[in-house]
Structure 1
Amino acid sequence: QLNDAFRKGDPSVPGQRFVTAGVIHLLNQLDIPAETLIQRVAQVDEFTEHNDPHGEHDFGAIEFHGRQLFWKIDANDHNYNMGSNDPINLSKTRWVLTVMLAEEW
């Protein structure tokens, strides 16, 4: 699945990864690089009908140093202007991973 490939860092699936201001503040407090958190999100493999009812693997929650964080993947057009109209077409789609504090949702 393309969402999993992107989340795990597959370079054939183009996109960008972001962390929110709240996450940046948390990482700075803990003196932890953002890449450590991105790798933690990449390792998520516990998807169930309860937490992923549509089987898209495009959202998840993790605990990170005692804080609840959410991550979300969106499939956008190649200019990042809107959602992709053909999300399985790698030439027309760019993925965006956003990691946020639960309270930023």
Structure 2
Amino acid sequence: MGETTTNPHAAKIAALNDRARQRVDPCRWVITQGVLACDPITVAELLIAVEDFDSFTEDNDPYAEHDFGVIKLHGNTFFWKFDCYDVDLLMHSPDPSDPTVTTRVLTVMLADEY
């Protein structure tokens, strides 16, 4: 495996991402049209699976920020991912480890929508 860059704030970013994904802290969720076209029970199960996700490994989380996950459910593969923007949602956050300058956006999608 290739060498990854270590972010000194990775543990704090991971904790903030986990709290947002688990709906402890505020976060904007975006659910794609592909996901919304699924059966409502599948959508509900998917959102619970996103909240409960904890299968982070070096392969799927090379920067240790807990910002991406893959979920297989009812024959479909789904992705979820975080993007961190400034508070006005105009550009990337200047510091994703600082919640006072960051708005987290969690997108849940079908893998083929990526």
| Residue from 13, 20, 23 that aligns with 1:6 | 20
How many residue pairs match? The answer is: 100
Percent of matched pairs sharing the same residue: 44
| Residue from 7, 17, 27 that aligns with 1:15 | 27
Which stretches in structure 2 are left out of the alignment for 5+ residues? 1-14
Q: Is the 8 A contact 2:83 2:106 kept in 1?
A: yes
Which stretches in structure 1 are left out of the alignment for 5+ residues? none
Residue identity in the other structure for 1:9: R
Name the structure with the higher helix share.
Answer: 2
Residue 43 of structure 1 pairs with residue 52 of structure 2: yes
- Normalised TM-score (structure 1): 0.87
Residue 95 of structure 1 pairs with residue 104 of structure 2: yes
Residue identity in the other structure for 2:87: H
| Residue from 19, 26, 36 that aligns with 1:24 | 36
- Normalised TM-score (structure 2): 0.80
Partners of 2:27 and 2:40 in 1: CA distance? 26
Name the structure with the higher strand share.
Answer: 1
Q: Is the 8 A contact 2:21 2:27 kept in 1?
A: no
Deviations 1:39-93 (A, max 9, x none): 2101010111111111111011001221000000111111111110011111111
Q: Is the 8 A contact 2:20 2:104 kept in 1?
A: yes
The residue correspondences of 1:53-64 to structure 2 (distance < 5 A) are 53-64=62-73
Name the counterpart of 1:104.
Answer: 113
Over the aligned positions, Cα root-mean-square deviation in angstroms equals 1.5
Partners of 1:16 and 1:31 in 2: CA distance? 20
